[in-house]
Each structure stands twice: as C-alpha cells, then as structure tokens.
Amino acid sequence: MRPAPFCSSLPIVRRQVLDLARLGSLSGIGPSQWIRFEQPVVWLREATAQVVFEHGGRVLETGASYVDCGDYLSSLYSAIESAKHECEVYEVSADSSLIVRVAVSILDIPVVACPTPLDAFPVGSYFQKAESEEGAWFHFAEADMRAVAESKSSIERDTAWQALRRLASVEVEVPEGLWTSRSGASCLSDTHLVDQYVHQQRNAVQALIAEAQITALRAG
C-alpha cells in the first residue's frame, strides 16, 4: 500500500531514478528482509519562513510560520510583513535589546508522482510521499544492509542502522540576515536585500525546472 496522494504547486527541481531498498516481506506474512527496487523520484523545492524573537543571543520564542503559496519564496515576504507587525506591537527598534528576525529554510523534498484523480484541484500536480506504509525507503547499500540483518545485539543493530542513508528531505540553504529589526529603522520598510535574494533564487529555480523538464522528456 502507498500513502494517500496530495496536491502540490511547489516547483519540481529534479527528477531521478534511484536504487532504493525497504525492509519488508515479499509475501506480506513472512519474515522481514531487504527488498531492493528502482524508483522514479521527483524533488520538490519548499521554502518556509518564520518570525523569531531573540534576546541576548538566544531565541526567546518563535512566531508565525509561513510556506509558499503561489510564487516561490512568497513565504519570505509574508513572514516579513508579520515581523513588521510584531515590531510595531512590541515597539521594537534597531536599538532595542529584543530582536525580531525572519528565519528562512529551503528544502528539497523527495516524492513520487502519481496520476491525477478525477476530482483533482485545478492547480498543481499530485504526488505521494516517498515511502511505503511498511516504513521508510533507503538508498541501497548492500554491505550496510547486510550488517543490519546480521547484527547480533541491539548495540550492533543501532550502529548498523545509523550507517544507512534514508531517502529524506535535503536542506538546500538556510540564508542568514535577510531581514532583522537590528538593520535600522529604514529596514522595516526596505526589502532591497530580500528582493535581490528572491530574484536570484527564482532564476536558479527556473533553470532547475527547465532541466527537470528535459530529463522527463528524455525519460519519456
């Protein structure tokens, strides 16, 4: 069984056919073993942005968190507007001991493309999580997987499991200093640095999207 499909408009930045393995039973009732398989995988790029409150170099609290809705990195602008509002509410200025900043995280998420259902949303494509109901998928590594199967103790087994590479999201970038209340009063309304960063990132993503489309055409 596979996870339920979901709709997403996140940009597709890579397409690969990966050599993977999962732990399961071929018959569904027998003992578990490593099952090797090839799987086409699509990578979606997701940006999230969050308002963060800091004091004395430490995070006091995290505020609202945003994900892209529409354009890539639109979450960053949404978080900045929220941070500006928090600065007004708490009267935070460039000289305040309390710092309000926007933290950004960019991930590439592995998923599996699936057919579009009849009752599909008009925008976006449909995917499934890159895993099965029985558990996670791993990059195939014969020696490491044999070590898991042949481990004699819980310590050996834990050590062997840690050597495996799970198919998981990959952190692309965590940019620092894009927007903070310490940058001066003009920073509260000036997003020039942010605009430059977003323009650069959107161009880079467009190039990756085009490359992924070429990969799909060649595979088809």
Residue 34 burial (C-beta neighbours within 10 Å; 0-12, 13-18, 19+): middle
Return the pLDDT at 156: 94
In a domain, 152, yes or no: yes
Is residue 98 one of the residues assigned to a domain? Answer: yes
Q: What are the tens digits of pLDDT across the range 169-214? A: 999 999 998 999 987 544 556 688 899 999 999 999 999 999 999 9
Residue 179, domain extent: 6-219
Contact 182, 94 (CB under 8 A): yes
Query: Which parts of the chain have pLDDT scores under 50?
Result: 185-186
Asked if residue 86 belongs to a domain, the reply is yes
Q: Look at residues 186, 185, 181 and name the one whose alpha carbon lies nearest to residue 100.
A: 181
**Partner residues linked to 102 by β-bridges:** 51
Total domains in the fold of the chain = 1
Rounded Cα distance, 178 and 152, in Å:
50
In a domain, 215, yes or no: yes
CB 136 within 8 A of CB 3: no
The full DSSP string for 138-167 is: EE--HHHHHHHHH--SHHHHHHHHHHS-B-
212: in domain: yes
What is the reported pLDDT for 10? 96
Mean residue pLDDT across the chain: 92
What confidence score (pLDDT) does residue 189 get?
61
Q: Where are the beta strands (DSSP E) in the chain?
A: 6-8, 12-24, 33-55, 58-67, 98-113, 125-129, 131-132, 135-136, 138-139, 170-173
According to the model, what pLDDT value does residue 187 have?
53
Residue 54 in domain: yes
Residues making up the chain, counted from first to last: 220
CB 63 within 8 A of CB 53: yes
> Would 77 be classed as within a structural domain?
yes
Q: Dihedral sign, CA of 111, 113, 119, 123? A: positive
Whose CA is closest to 68, among 27, 118, 13, 107? 107
Distance CA 83, CA 204 (A): 27
Are β-strands 98-113 and 125-129 bridged in parallel, bridged antiparallel, or unpaired? antiparallel
What is the number of other CB atoms lying within 10 angstroms of the CB of residue 71?
Answer: 12
Q: Whole-prediction pTM value? A: 0.89
CB-facing half-sphere around the CA of 170: CA atoms within 13 A: 13
Is 1 a member of any domain? no
Report pLDDT for 188. Answer: 55
Token pair of 78 as six digits: 């949404």
